[in-house]
Amino acid sequence: MTMEQKSKHYVIKEETRKRCKVFKIDETSFKRFRKLNHEQFPVLKEAGSINFPIYFRAGDEMIEFIRPEEFSPLLIDQIKTTLEKPLGQIDVFVLVADYPKYQNAITSVRQKKYKHVLELDPTLDPKVMEVFEDLSAASQMIVKGGINNLVVTKAKEAVSKLMESQLESAVSIGTLSRMILCDSTLYDHSASVAMLAGIIATQLIKTPLSKEEVELVSQGGLYHDAGKTCVPNDILNKPGKFSPEEYDVMKTHTTLGNEELIKAITKGAPIDRLVAKVALEHHERWDGHGYPFGKKGRLEDDPHGIHLYARIVMIADVYSALIMKRVYKEAYTPQKAIAIMKDLAPTDYDMEIFEPFRNMIDKSIKLYEEKEKQLDKSHLIILGEKDSFANALRKLSHK
């Protein structure tokens, strides 16, 4: 990091000081606040109103940035834009006591959005969307120091629902990528990794897994990035390439996530240790060039190998990251995502897992091409667009 970057920090504007209550916080008073997930909280823009204040922290000062009576989408946007800047030590909070209110607000906005996209895109599967919503509600609860029995129960319930629903893999995979097209704010990385990992684990031919094992793989997907809540936002949200130092910090999300989970397990949270192992090993790579340990191959063949669950989750993780929009890249189509992964596969993934996964993606792509052709014939007349359905949808959903 250069000196110039180091010295950058958020300066509270005079007008903000005039408009808002600003106060110093110390370790004790800080415990009253709960940090919000940056990807999720901008959804509040569409809440219409809120019944709790939102706080913004800059260094050791806390700003009561949005009081319920002055709520506006513009203020949410202001926080969102600031969080995306490389300023370090800034975060957004609600009072611990208000957290349930915050969650209710998020849930109701998301439900409205789900209903809307289901009306918009007839290729989306309502059952997949329902399971996904439960997984994403659980994933949003996973924050630093917040992995308690409530979170664990919610995660377990969501994963069992995924199992019970016996979703068709091609339809589930297709629905995930169509959802991004319709409304990218509904997507949730960890929820999609849980869903994809569960689907892959169910379809394994060479190593068939029991229902309980598949559930652990899927839980591993849900918690795999738990350590990211410990990585500073300016690094997490950095649009450009990481400096070697920043990359080293980023890498710690594997060991920190593992530690968080082990801590929760020690305190009595009913999480299997293999779930923590997934968080630790999901960035290892087949030929040993991954992190944090440079493990390679299969644990079944070599004591320094990568655990099967982590080998599954890493594939789901990369695919999910490729099809979603990130600050540094656009959302890739399933075709592009799988082409990129195919090139990486020999050095990165266990081919015995990757091959069936690739087949599933191919199957899903074909199925959705068919669905789209039919829609182009029937639906476009309704939409009044001389365009492909996908393009028409994109335009419609941005209105």
How far is Cα 116 from Cα 399, in angstroms, rounded to an integer? Answer: 12
Degrees to nearest 5, angle at CA 158 with 157 and 159:
90
Burial of residue 49 (number of CB atoms within 10 Å: 0-12, 13-18, 19+): exposed
Residue among 59 and 232 whose Cβ is closer to Fe ion: 232
Of 121 and 317, CB closest to Fe ion: 317
The H or E element that residue 371 is part of is helix 351-383
Two tokens, residue 82: 């600031």
Pairwise CA distance, residues 294 & 305, whole Å: 9
- 317 binds Fe ion per the rule CB under 5 A: yes
Please state, as a whole number, how many other Cβ atoms lie within 10 Å of the Cβ of residue 91. 17
Contact letters for Fe ion, residues 195-234 (x by CB under 5 A): ------------------------------x---------
CA separation for the pair 122, 178 (Å, rounded): 10
Q: Which is nearer to Fe ion, 121 or 281 (CB)?
A: 281
Among the listed residues 141, 152, 162, the one whose alpha carbon sits nearest the alpha carbon of residue 272: 152
Of 57 and 228, the one with the shorter C-beta distance to Fe ion is: 228
Q: Which stretch binds Fe ion (CB under 5 A): 2-10, 14-22, 317-325, 362-370?
A: 317-325
Q: Is 188 in the site for Fe ion (CB under 5 A)?
A: no
- From the CB of 259, what's the least distance to Fe ion, in Å? 15
DSSP strand pairing (54-58 vs 90-95)? antiparallel
Residue 384 Rama label (left phi>0; alpha psi -120 to 50; beta): left
**Minimum distance from residue 187 beta carbon to Fe ion (Å):** 13
Report, in Å, the least distance between residue 23 CB and Fe ion: 35
How many of the chain's residues bind Fe ion (CB under 5 A)? 2
To Fe ion, the closest distance from the beta carbon of 193 in angstroms equals 6
User: What's the chain's length in residues?
Assistant: 399
User: Of 329, 357, 325, 333, which Cα lies nearest the Cα of 344?
Assistant: 357
Contact call for residue 39 and Fe ion (CB under 5 A): no
If the CB atoms of residues 225 and 350 are measured against Fe ion, the closer one turns out to be 225
Nearer to Fe ion, 225 or 246 (CB): 225
Q: Segment near Fe ion (CB under 5 A), from 137-145, 177-185, 314-322, 388-396?
A: 314-322
CB of 226 to Fe ion, least distance (A): 9
What is the closest distance, in whole angstroms, from the C-beta atom of residue 361 to Fe ion in the complex?
A: 18
Task: Name the one residue in this structure whose structure tokens are 């839980």.
Answer: 219
Residue with smaller CB distance to Fe ion, 123 or 229: 229
Q: By the criterion CB under 5 A, which residues form the site for Fe ion?
A: 225, 317
